[in-house]
Amino acid sequence: MIKGSFMIGSEMIEIIIDGNNTMFRDTASGTTTTIQGLKINKAGAIKEHPDLKDDEEWKEKTLDRLKEHIKKLKTEDKKINYVKDELKKHGYTPMFKQRAGHRPQKF
């Protein structure tokens, strides 16, 4: 299991990757969700996927593409680094990563 901490605005979220399961946790409210609960910036999504510019389901399709790509990666380290790079494009600021209960490290 590996966990990454990110800031978006004044909110801190955690991404928990355990094998092929990816969960997102809002530290303020303590709620945990799947990838569908992510806040995605439309400009960042269109920059990455220009074909979704006029699509009304741009958010769902962006998240589906992200989810499928994460599943293809072999190790949890590669997955958390990919998620970090993708979320930076959508306005998230990477803070820390923590592997299996060890001390957190800066990204």
Helix (H, G, I), strand (E, B) or coil at 81: helix
CA distances (Å), 106 to each of 5, 59, 94, 95, in order?
Answer: 9, 29, 8, 6
Its pTM stands at 0.74
For helices 58-72 and 76-89, the axis angle rounded to 10 degrees is 150
Residue 71 lies in a domain: yes
Q: Is 16 part of any domain?
A: yes
Domain that holds residue 41: 2-99
Number of domains in the chain: 1
The reply to whether 21 falls in a domain is yes
Question: For every one of its 107 residues, what pLDDT tens digit does the chain have, with 9 covering 90 and above?
Answer: 999 999 988 899 999 999 888 898 988 888 898 888 777 888 888 888 899 999 999 999 998 888 888 889 999 999 999 889 988 887 889 999 999 878 989 98
